[in-house]
Structure 1
């Protein structure tokens, strides 16, 4: 025979408050310690050259061409890569200074046509100080 004491038995429960606090602290730690480098997302393999000329210039305008043919001027991607849109993007990024140094960092696996289009657009805008970024080749 079971005698009832009138008390409801305690139900065990798991408190999620402390678990949420720990997960929230981990998320904050990861966000604070992560470095955000926009250029690290772009994997570009530069072509190799034997010359050792290094160009040191104050704030050159950088044009990046990745392996898929996407073009980046500074930190901004050019969505339309036709010559007219490319010239407009270059002109707005460079401003009125046509003597500014331009550095083209084209991926070695990209199509040559993308590089030619960028160089042609720069020439039509009047830029004369254009350099191609390369990596040192193997010593002979």
Structure 2
């Protein structure tokens, strides 16, 4: 059974995603903030990491966690999926986060999913990421 770790401060999102993923045969664990997130990731040794971007304590926390994960030798190959409502919360006229911007400028991230999202698309991205073990 593949283990997925979700780092997100929105308990409703975590609970909903956890229910969907567990119904599809995944083991899901979560962490609610950026504090000690990398230590939690190392301790859990997940097969996939799902990160939110914005946290109350750090609006770019998800990106920073991803960067810190890539510095850890044991986590360098861990697939990372960012899911966020950043495009909805901040109407960024100069740049929208998407798979293209993630691939071009955020090499630590394997894929991006904008909230709100369809469960089928989430599952599709997870299956794709679990099929490949290296970043980019």
Name which one, 1 or 2, has greater alpha-carbon Rg: 1
TM-score w.r.t. length of structure 2: 0.35
Structure 1 or 2: more helix by fraction: 2
Q: Comparing both chains, which one has the higher relative contact order based on Cα–Cα distances under 8 Å and sequence gaps of 6 or more?
A: 1
